Amino acid sequence: MLNESFVCWNCGKEILPHPEGSARNHCPFCLYSKHVDDNSPGDRLSTCYGMMIPVWIDHKKNKGDMILHACQKCGKEILNKVAPDDDFLGFIRQRNKHMWDAF
């Protein structure tokens, strides 16, 4: 499992390694990801490299809050655990605003 820094392909910010040593796979600011993992978190075995957009939220009893990412290139969907430094509340506010704007 790799916990490495990277530059976000969506917002351009430099992202530091996950604060708790897990495999960082999405930007804590815009929550976008890059399709780099294939079968398990941190394996970095995907050859797709498409942009993964945060599309939904979920909550799992044993893992807590989760972000559902969908690959813009191949369509694969992956649930990712929310990291302690993620702007998760900002994402929820943005989703709610878009939902209310539809009415």
> Can you give the length of the chain in residues?
103
Residue 37 falls within a domain, yes or no?
yes
SS3 track for 64-77: EEEEEEEECCCCCE
Residue 1 falls within a domain, yes or no?
no
> Could you tell me the end-to-end alpha-carbon distance of the chain, in angstroms, rounded to an integer?
44
Residue 67 falls within a domain, yes or no?
yes
Which domain range does residue 93 map to? 6-101
> Number of folded domains in the chain?
1
Q: Determine the pLDDT at residue 29.
A: 93
pTM passes above 0.85: no
The model's pLDDT over 21-46, given as tens digits with 9 standing for 90+, comes to 677 888 999 999 999 888 887 788 89
